[in-house]
Amino acid sequence: MTTTAPGPGRSPTRERSAPPRRRQLTLRRRESRAGLALVAPTLLVTIAVIGIPIVWTVVLAFQRVRLATLRKTGLFGEFTMDNIDRVLHTPGFAETLWVTLIYSIGGTVGSIVLGLVAALVVRRPFRGRTLVRASMLLPYVAPVVAVTFVWQVMLDPQLGIVNAWGQRLLGWDAPVPFLTQESTALATVIAFEAWRYFPFAFLFLLARLQAVPGELEEAARVDGATPTQRFRHILLPQLLPVIALLGVLRFIMTFNKFDDVYLLTGGAAGTEVVSVRVYEFLTARTDIGAAAAQAVVLAVVLIVFVLIYLRFFGRRVS
């Protein structure tokens, strides 16, 4: 790293004697070398811990690998389509994909809507605003294991506070097992997702809202626009690019999500998303080939969705 960068002792005065065109070229070349030298460690580490694993997953997806035979299989054993075939034809595959899709769209829309409302209400200064803003970020920064536990306990049919109050105040006939019955589990998981990730949308939208020039709204107010009109015609158009970007980011992140669903329901009661299924293949069935194939299918489906999205909203996102 140190060899390519110019020594600190070299002064620009010495280069003044060279013709201007050549000097520019060498400066440029030196910059390029320094750039490559500085980025090399980052690039190498990224390739080692992320790039190679991704390629390897694809290779594994076409091999017959199980945990028991792992020590004997080489990197380039015989290739087979069995895994992909098995993944596509195992019962529940289509349902898992469908559940993942509903979960991702629900979680994305929920978190953005909540984040937008939150950003709008704390936009202007008021007493205690800093504290309110900080509290709103709590769900996002807190450890996932802890927050899923609290939700589980709160929603517990026997000792959860939600059911205790629901029965006492709202007159529910019987406790609702939110996370274990088919009719409510998926909706509850989506609600959790919206709750945990709205701060992410909130941060981005608040930053954008504060960058909207005050004169814009002032002018609209003078022209007689009411608050809702100002939101609809001044603020919303300014926010749309950020919302479109958040849409694609949150969708991708939710689509890949493992921890939240695994910890809340373990994938039971109709909430099995693709990544939980990959985990099941990997550990419970110790079928590495199938897990890899399932992961590849996940990545491909994701890429397709993102491409479709970019086709419709691409101009806004970029």
Identify which range of 16-24, 81-89, 95-103, 127-135 contacts another protein by CB under 8 A: 127-135
Residues in 254-293 that interact with another protein by CB under 8 A:
255-256, 258-259, 262-263, 275, 278-279, 282-283, 288, 291-292
**What gap in Å lies between CA 234 and CA 64, rounded to an integer?**
58
Would the CA dihedral through 192, 194, 197, 198 be positive or negative? negative
Residues whose CB falls within 8 Å of the CB of residue 24, separated by 6 or more in sequence, listed in order: none
User: Among all chains, which residue has been given the structure tokens 């506070």?
Assistant: 161
By beta-carbon proximity to another protein, the closer residue of 83 and 106 is 83
Identify which range of 81-89, 98-106, 164-172, 180-188 contacts another protein by CB under 8 A: 164-172
Residues 84, 87, 112, 118: which binds another protein (CB under 8 A)? 118
Residues in 132-161 that interact with another protein by CB under 8 A:
132-139, 141-147, 149-151, 153-154, 156, 158-161
166: its two tokens: 């629901």
Residues whose CB falls within 8 Å of the CB of residue 313, separated by 6 or more in sequence, listed in order: 244, 247, 248
Q: Print the binding letters for residues 41-80 with another protein: x by CB under 8 A, - otherwise.
A: xxx-xx--xxxxxx-xx--x----x-x--xx---------
- Kindly state the number of chain residues that form the binding site for another protein, as judged by CB under 8 A: 108
DSSP assignment of 110-173 equals: HHHHHHHHHHHHTSS--TTHHHHHHHHTHHHHS-HHHHHHHHHHHT-TTT-HHHHHHHHHS--S
Least Cβ distance, residue 107 to another protein (angstroms): 15
218 near another protein, judged by CB under 8 A: no
Contact (Cβ atoms closer than 8 angstroms) between residue 205 and residue 133: no
**What gap in Å lies between CA 14 and CA 102, rounded to an integer?**
66
17 near another protein, judged by CB under 8 A: no
252 near another protein, judged by CB under 8 A: yes
By beta-carbon proximity to another protein, the closer residue of 19 and 143 is 143
**What gap in Å lies between CA 212 and CA 119, rounded to an integer?**
13
26 near another protein, judged by CB under 8 A: no
Least Cβ distance, residue 151 to another protein (angstroms): 7
By beta-carbon proximity to another protein, the closer residue of 166 and 270 is 166
